[in-house]
Amino acid sequence: METYGNIPGDIMNLGFLLLNPARLMIDKYVGFLENVNNFDFVENFVRMERWIFDSPDLPAETFREFITNFYKKNLLIKNEVEIGGKKVDLKKITMPVLNIYGKYDHLVPPAMCDQFIGKIGSKDKEDLCLDTGHIGIYVSSKTQREFGPKIIRWLMERDGNGQDRKASKKVRVKKPVPKKVKRK
């Protein structure tokens, strides 16, 4: 951090890869080679790789504070983290909360995520543990097909337009039509 003043995105990515090198640097590329003739698989693989390696640099001090306060000391769950000179009290979170996390997330382990809901003050709170890893939550084709509609339903139930929750649960969410890419 002292050398660059920032944490370069490439160095962060290397650190993430080294957390599980066999799976993240070998297995996924073996899987790619096994599926190289499957257009949909290749398209999704490239989408995920592009997203993974498009990482901006992080300011060094922000990175240091985040690692120290949230990882090493776990101050958020202990109600001891300070933001802008004020302590964060999770019991004061009273808005609806959907806590989304990945079952196979190696960066933000599920055992850490499922503690959050029990610490907040909201009466309308829900854990949504998705059957994916850290990156899959955001960019996988499975997310686009399954998890997005789950999140949309949860939001629609709380959209405040006068519908009660039972009525809004009956709303069907249209799945987006995937764009077809012409093969050469």
Chain centroid to CA 125: how far?
A: 18
- Give me the torsion for CA of 22, 13, 31, 50, rounded to 10°: 180
Domain with 110, as residue range(s), is: 89-176
The answer to whether residues 30 and 109 belong to one domain is no
DSSP 86: E
CA distance linking residue 148 with residue 142, whole number of Å: 9
Are 67 and 96 contained in the same domain?
no
Q: Looking at the structure, do residues 14 and 58 belong to the same domain, yes or no?
A: yes
Q: What is the mean pLDDT of residues 54-82?
A: 92
67 shares its domain with 93: no
| Residue the block writes with tokens 């019991």 | 91
CATH, residue 141: 3.40.50.1820
* pLDDT value, residue 174: 46
Q: Are residues 103 and 27 in the same domain?
A: no
Whole-number pLDDT of residue 69 = 93
Residue 47 lies in a domain: yes
The answer to the question of residue 82 being in a domain is no
- At residue 114, the 3 state secondary structure works out as coil
Residue 69 vs residue 19, higher pLDDT:
69
Give the tens place of pLDDT for each residue, 119-176.
999 999 999 998 888 888 877 777 778 888 888 999 999 987 645 444 444 444 444 4
2-29 tens-digit pLDDT: 787 899 999 888 888 888 888 888 998 9
Cα–Cα separations (whole angstroms), residue 59 to 9, 66, 70, 101, 108: 10, 11, 16, 25, 21
pTM over 0.95: no
Is residue 81 situated within a structural domain?
A: no
Q: Tell whether 54 and 113 lie within a shared domain.
A: no
Q: Which of 108, 105, 15 is nearest to 58 (CA)?
A: 15
Q: Based on the structure, what is the number of domains in the chain? A: 2
The answer to whether residue 61 scores a pLDDT higher than 60 is yes
